[in-house]
Copies of this chain bind each other. A is one copy, B any other.
């Protein structure tokens, strides 16, 4: 279905991971984290978020962090922006790619950002227009694609509609997120297939949380379906404040281990990634959620 054996990992730990960790890391540690990640061979590292510090105090130092990281050649550092104000703050410190976000669940959007899906999209239409004029690439996130903590089931048609809208608006890539980690492989595959009927597979990414332990199986199903971009977070940091259970993003180490074991290429040096994950867990003062890092660093 897709003969390419190259998978691009979008490392979201510094943003999606850290924004949901209790520990507040100093800006210098975040910079160190991103610089370490840049040395692993990752091609895309989501560096931070320019949402309001009132919403996400963990990333209030976004401008300071972004300005300080070493921009490695060939690595892209997208940042999350909620609106034009965030976009301008990001561009002021040199961001060259941004990400916007909405959800496929009406209830989630209402509770999360107090807007309907359509209103949430309207909010970043000016971002898309400015980005096009500035030559800035925009990534789009669709969350709750396999379930919502408020409305439960999310119709696949809603996921397709929202993903297509983001793509039509100019997002070069649309990341489909199982925010609360409830999805299972057959549902993940069916959802991806439905979206890929409207948006080119090459413009799609998958984003799984491991709350129910299903993330790698879901990624496998989506790889079989043809996707070649996978979001993950080193050390499995994060978690969704709206989802029960403490588990966060699928760990990048575990994804890379699976992909390399399957003969897929990521360009990532797994040993360096494991070292970085173990180092991050120590900085956060918690056990790593990566099984691979646990197995490799056990006595």
Contact = CB atoms under 8 A, between A and B. Distances in A.
A262 B186 contact: yes
Interface in A193-249: 210-214, 216-217, 219-221, 243-247
Contacts of A186: 261-263
Given A263-B186, A291-B212, A296 B244 contact: yes
A246 B185 CA distance: 26
A261 B185 CA distance: 8
Given A184-B260, A184-B261, A243-B295, 18 more contacts: A185-B258, A185-B262, A186-B262, A211-B291, A211-B295, A212-B291, A213-B216, A213-B254, A213-B257, A214-B254, A214-B257, A214-B261, A217-B258, A244-B295, A244-B296, A245-B294, A245-B295, A247-B295
Counting chain B CB atoms within 10 Å of each CB, the highest count among A244, A245, A247, A263 belongs to: A245
A290 B261 CA distance: 24
Contact of A217 (B216, B243, B260, B292): B216
B258 A184 contact: yes
A261 B187 contact: yes
Contacts of A298: 244-246
A271 to B, nearest CB: 14
Contacts of A243: 295
Contacts of A187: 261-262
Contacts of A220: 185, 217, 220-221
Interface in A244-279: 244-247, 251, 254, 257-258, 260-263
Within the oligomer, what is the number of copies of this chain? Answer: 2
A133 interface: no
- When A and B form their complex, which 5 residue pairs have the shortest distance between CB atoms, in order from nearest? A184-B261, A245-B295, A213-B291, A186-B262, A213-B254
Nearest to A220: B217
Contacts of A14: none
A92 interface: no
A245 to B, nearest CB: 3
Contacts of A290: 213
A183 interface: yes
Contacts of A1: none
10 contacts: A184-B257, A184-B258, A184-B260, A185-B262, A186-B261, A186-B263, A187-B261, A210-B291, A213-B254, A246-B294
Nearest to A251: B213
Nearest to A181: B295
A290 to B, nearest CB: 7
